[in-house]
Amino acid sequence: MASGRLIYVVGPSGSGKDTLLDYARQRLDGAGRVAFAHRYITRPADAGGENHIALTDKEFAMRCRAGLFAMNWHSHAMDYGVGIEIDCWLAKGVSAVVNGSRAYLPQARKSHPDLRLIWITAGEDTIRTRLVARGRENTGQIQERLERDARFSGRLMDDAVIIPNEGPVAEAGEQLVAAILREIESYPGSG
């Protein structure tokens, strides 16, 4: 049986990653054998941003102990997880698109060595404007996020597909859709 490809999408807060993933999810709805993983986050469901599964700290810890996450990390005072269902999807020949973490990338590469990295970028002014507009962080937290992005930006991986997101959503969104389809079609395991 063919196996699916793991497509690991990363980018700094404010790069528009969630918006582009939502765009791609809608455009690829029912097309081919691709599924978009929901993240499990210790953030309220109504906090805005991505469509995620909200867990309490205790629920998250229990799921970690039970081995229910294929990936999990802590960032910005929250816990994030991607369920083990992605490994089932991959084994069944369905490619999985994951909203990942740049800091977790080395561990993700260990558990899924064939993953393909897509990196969403935006300029500092654009990111700052978007973070202020979403209203979830104070000025100090926004500055911390910008400084964190500067540390990671110097470590862009040579094999990453880079998608700049400075203009209309559809422009970068179509680039993401094309990159996902290209990665799925070129994967030797997709038989």
What region, left, alpha or beta, does residue 9 occupy, with left being phi > 0 and alpha being psi -120 to 50 degrees? beta
Is residue 95 in a domain? yes
User: How high is the pLDDT of residue 141?
Assistant: 80
Q: How far apart are CA 187 and CA 182, in angstroms?
A: 9
> Please, which residues have CB within 8 angstroms of residue 26's CB and are 6 or more apart in sequence?
none
Q: How far apart are CA 90 and CA 37, in angstroms?
A: 12
pLDDT tens-place string over residues 19-29: 999 999 999 98
149-53-69 Cα angle (round to 5) = 75
Domains identified in the chain, total number: 1
Whether the per-residue pLDDT at 189 is higher than 70: the answer is no
- Token pair for 13: 């807060």
User: How high is the pLDDT of residue 181?
Assistant: 94
Which residue segment(s) compose the domain that 134 sits in? Answer: 6-184
Is residue 92 in a domain? yes
- φ, ψ at 169 (rounded to 5°): -55, -45
**Helices then strands, each counted (H, E), the chain:** 7, 9
Residues of the chain above pLDDT 70, percent: 88
Whether the per-residue pLDDT at 34 is higher than 90: the answer is yes
**DSSP letter (8 states) at residue 87:** H
Between the two ends of the chain, the Cα-to-Cα distance in Å is 8
pLDDT tens-place string over residues 80-120: 999 999 999 999 999 999 999 988 999 999 999 999 999 99
User: How high is the pLDDT of residue 154?
Assistant: 59
- Token pair for 120: 């969403």
Is residue 190 in a domain? no
Is residue 169 in a domain? yes
- Token pair for 54: 């909200």
Predicted structure pTM score: 0.87
pLDDT tens-place string over residues 114-161: 999 999 988 888 888 888 887 777 888 877 877 776 666 656 567 889
Q: How far apart are CA 157 and CA 74, in angstroms?
A: 22
Side by side, the strands of the sheet bearing 116-121 are: 34-36, 95-99, 6-10, 116-121, 161-164
| pLDDT (average), residues 157-170 | 89
pLDDT tens-place string over residues 42-78: 976 665 566 678 899 999 999 999 999 999 999 878 8
For position 19, which CATH number holds? 3.40.50.300
User: How high is the pLDDT of residue 125?
Assistant: 86
Instruction: Please give the mean pLDDT across all residues of the chain.
Output: 87
Is residue 139 in a domain? yes
Whether the per-residue pLDDT at 2 is higher than 70: the answer is no
- φ, ψ at 187 (rounded to 5°): -75, 125
User: How high is the pLDDT of residue 116?
Assistant: 94
- Token pair for 21: 């993933």
